[in-house]
Amino acid sequence: MKAALQLTTRNMSLSEAARATIEKKAEKLEALCSRITACRYPG
């Protein structure tokens, strides 16, 4: 990614397994389109 991946959570901590899964999905998403500059998930 052009910018470092930032992960923010509210009212919970992020496990290492969840962080690894998110990073893997972000890499996959970037492989589809390298021009992506931001992505948010309001989960």
Amino acid at 5: L
Is residue 26 in some structural domain?
A: yes
| C-alpha 2 chain-centroid distance | 13
Is residue 43 in some structural domain?
A: yes
Which residues, in sequence order, are CB contacts of 1 under 8 Å at separation 6+?
Answer: 26, 30, 36
Is residue 4 in some structural domain?
A: no
The model's pTM is 0.71
Domain boundaries, position 35: 13-43
More reliable by pLDDT, 15 or 5? 15
Is residue 8 in some structural domain?
A: no
Note the pLDDT tens digit of each residue in 13-37.
Answer: 989 999 999 889 888 988 888 888 8
Total count of domains within the chain = 1
Confidence of residue 1 (pLDDT cuts 50, 70, 90): low
Is residue 7 in some structural domain?
A: no
Give residue 42's pLDDT.
67
Structure token pair of residue 12: 């919970």
Is residue 23 in some structural domain?
A: yes
Helix, strand, coil fractions of the chain, as percent rounded to 5: 40, 0, 60
Which residues, in sequence order, are CB contacts of 15 under 8 Å at separation 6+?
Answer: none
Q: Is the pLDDT of residue 6 over 90?
A: no
